[in-house]
Amino acid sequence: MLAVIRPAVLAMLHEHEAATLQLFLVATGDTTWAPLQDDDVVIENSAMARWEVLGEDGGSSSLWIEGGADRLITDVQSDLQDFIAESRFAWGELRPLPPR
């Protein structure tokens, strides 16, 4: 799952932002944000992507994986776009979604 999401996230970050990226998955509803392990099974709506960029925390909504990789990437990038626009490091900046 992260192998699909990571390049999509990196495509939206500037180099200095990408250098600080921490990206992981958490179980939907887990307010402790404990990262899932590599062997945890992720099914529809059971996980969310969480990220930290330049010391600011954010994340996606629940991951809808049954729609395929394109839908997953579009959803995560949309959530990331909102995070970037609301962050201290890029307040108000609307970054275009990268073409695929």
58 Cβ contact list (under 8 Å, min separation 6): 50, 51, 52, 79, 80, 83, 87
Whether 56 is covered by a domain: the verdict is: yes
Residue 60: which domain range? 2-29+43-86
Q: Are residues 21 and 13 in contact, defined by beta-carbon separation less than 8 angstroms?
A: yes
Whether 66 is covered by a domain: the verdict is: yes
Specify the pLDDT at position 100.
Answer: 66
Specify the pLDDT at position 95.
Answer: 84
Specify the pLDDT at position 98.
Answer: 77
Whether 77 is covered by a domain: the verdict is: yes
Whether 12 is covered by a domain: the verdict is: yes
Count of domains observed in the chain: 1
Specify the pLDDT at position 97.
Answer: 78
Whether 76 is covered by a domain: the verdict is: yes
**Could you read off the pLDDT of 32-61 as tens digits, one per residue?**
999 999 889 998 899 999 999 999 999 999
d(CA 69, CA 58): 21
Whether 79 is covered by a domain: the verdict is: yes
Specify the pLDDT at position 56.
Answer: 97
3-state secondary structure of 85: helix
CA dihedral angle for residue 31, residue 8, residue 74, residue 13, rounded to 10 degrees: 80
Whether 91 is covered by a domain: the verdict is: no
